Amino acid sequence: MQKQRNERSRRTFLKQSAGLLALPTIVPSVVLGRNGSVPPSERIILGGIGVGNRGRHDLRWMLPEKDVQFVATCDLNCERGLLVKDMVDEWYGNQDCVLYNNMLEFLAERTDIDAVLIATGDRWHALAAIMAMRAGKDVYSEKPSSMTVAQGQAVVATARRYQRIYQTGTQRLSQGNFTSANELLRTGRLGKVHTVRAHIAPWDSAEMSHDWLPAEPEPPKEEVDWDHWLGPCPWRPYNSAYTRGRWRGYYDFHTSCIGEWGAHTIAQCQVAIGAADTSAIKYNYVPNDSGDGMVTEFANGVRMVLERDVEKKYWRGSCGVRYEGTEGWVAVADGYDRPEASSPKLLEDFSKQVRDYQLRTGRPMSHVRDLFDCIKSRRQTIANPVVMHRSMTTVHAANICMWLKRDMRFDPVQERFVNDPEANRLLSRAMRAPWII
């Protein structure tokens, strides 16, 4: 019975995608969400683009928000799109979530949608966000949110031009344990901070592969639109492994082990040291394949060290950061209830630190709630385009340092390497027509 239901759903999706049905039904804004206690005029109508495993995790945060209604999802892979539809329909107890497989049509037709969740692979994050903002949508984009410095610049410029609200998925900026560590640094309780450490992913390499997987027969376009899947990337032969997540580790599609976790931890460190609107100025090459141990330096003199294999050395768990000052240190990673510190006294008012931060900033301890609040108020989010771009610039510069195997200096005002034309050519990549910013 389940197999038959899935097959019927699949056939329905393929007919819609091929244009054999009438235009998709527009879900009007008067449709109430579960426990519809929020007036329709105050609800945020939400859609999705490329919502896979990580995106469904985001949706589990978003669906319970009573002032949000998720109405449609767009995916080039029909089976993945059906998983999202099933999830949303089960939540709302109806069959109203509409499926699309063409992003241009989705953005053009769904004028009722206020914001989109973008959870594609890395290659599409910046371009999809730009296209969505041009279509009048606010954006939650999964990280890493740009493939190059030029893409990050374009996201910032588009958000400003179209007055859009944008949040990148560095959700640890909205978690109490990481916030507490940042507050210890900000309030001076660590003394003069001289070193921060940022976790990079303990798999893959900074030196990514420039080849590609062997060709397989392309599936029907209605099942997987391969040309659209590639988007701005160079043409490569179809291989089903790419669509199952095996694009990581390939230069065409990925931002390396540095970008994988550094998108989180470098942003965390830059916000903590007051460098959210700039990037590191020095990058010291390390002779390994990952960037482990690379020392970067900011204009304020703080050094940031990229750390890969640090289990039980600086922190336990994934996406860790550590801040070291003249009066002590603090460290935190995923799975912590609260940070670890050089002295118990630093943490005795942990809860108060978080409360004080919330009172001072008006930020919730929920990354998606911060987005939705800012959509209503039009205030900048905590992980706004500038925070994303400047931290991702540090990621990209560190990658380029590893690729060219030499120390480098970067000017964050000009957003270019100093006296290094070869490195500057890597600040952007050619984009395949018609997927051009």
pLDDT in tens, 233-265: 999 999 999 999 999 999 999 999 999 999 999
Give pLDDT tens digits for 70-112: 999 999 988 999 999 999 999 999 999 999 999 999 999 999 9
The residue type found at 115 is: A
The mean per-residue pLDDT over the stretch 285-302 comes to 97
Q: What percent of the chain has pLDDT over 70?
A: 91
User: What pLDDT is recorded for position 40?
Assistant: 76
What gap in Å lies between CA 388 and CA 262, rounded to an integer? 11
User: What pLDDT is recorded for position 225?
Assistant: 92
Give pLDDT tens digits for 409-424: 999 999 999 999 999 9
Look at residue 159 and give its three-state secondary structure: helix
Sorted by where each starts, the structural domains of the chain and their CATH numbers stand as: 2-172 (3.40.50.720), 176-205+255-362+388-427 (3.30.360.10)
Say if CB 382 and CB 172 are below 8 A apart.
no
User: What pLDDT is recorded for position 39?
Assistant: 79
Higher pLDDT residue, 9 or 235?
235
pTM: 0.91
Q: What share of the chain is helix, strand, coil (3-state, %, to 5)?
A: 40, 15, 45
Give pLDDT tens digits for 269-290: 999 999 999 999 999 999 999 9
Q: How confident is the model at residue 38 (pLDDT cuts 50, 70, 90)?
A: confident
User: What pLDDT is recorded for position 32?
Assistant: 46
Backbone φ, ψ for residue 94 (5° rounding): -145, -170
Write 222-229 long-range contacts (CB < 8 A, 24+): 222/14, 222/17, 222/18, 222/78, 222/101, 223/14, 223/77, 223/78, 223/79, 224/76, 224/77, 224/78, 225/76, 225/101, 225/102, 228/76, 228/102, 228/103, 229/76, 229/77
The mean per-residue pLDDT over the stretch 152-181 comes to 98
Higher pLDDT residue, 5 or 193?
193
What gap in Å lies between CA 28 and CA 75, rounded to an integer? 22
User: What pLDDT is recorded for position 37?
Assistant: 64
What gap in Å lies between CA 42 and CA 184, rounded to an integer? 37
Q: Which of 14-28, 321-335, 390-404, 422-436 is predicted with the least confidence, judged by mean pLDDT?
A: 14-28
Q: How confident is the model at residue 41 (pLDDT cuts 50, 70, 90)?
A: confident
Say if CB 298 and CB 402 are below 8 A apart.
no
| Residue 5 neighbours by CB distance under 10 Å | 10
pLDDT for 16 beyond 90: no
User: What pLDDT is recorded for position 359?
Assistant: 98
State the average pLDDT for the chain.
Answer: 92
What gap in Å lies between CA 191 and CA 183, rounded to an integer? 12
Tokens of 361: 């900033």
Q: Which of 17-21, 66-70, 383-387 is predicted with the least confidence, judged by mean pLDDT?
A: 17-21
User: What pLDDT is recorded for position 42?
Assistant: 86
H-only helix segments in 166-239: 176-186, 226-230
Q: How confident is the model at residue 3 (pLDDT cuts 50, 70, 90)?
A: very low
Q: How confident is the model at residue 268 (pLDDT cuts 50, 70, 90)?
A: very high
Which residues lie below 8 Å from residue 428, measured CB to CB, with a gap of 6+? Answer: 148, 149, 150, 151
Mode of pairing for the β-strands spanning 68-74 and 98-100? parallel
pLDDT for 5 beyond 80: no
Tokens of 243: 């669509």
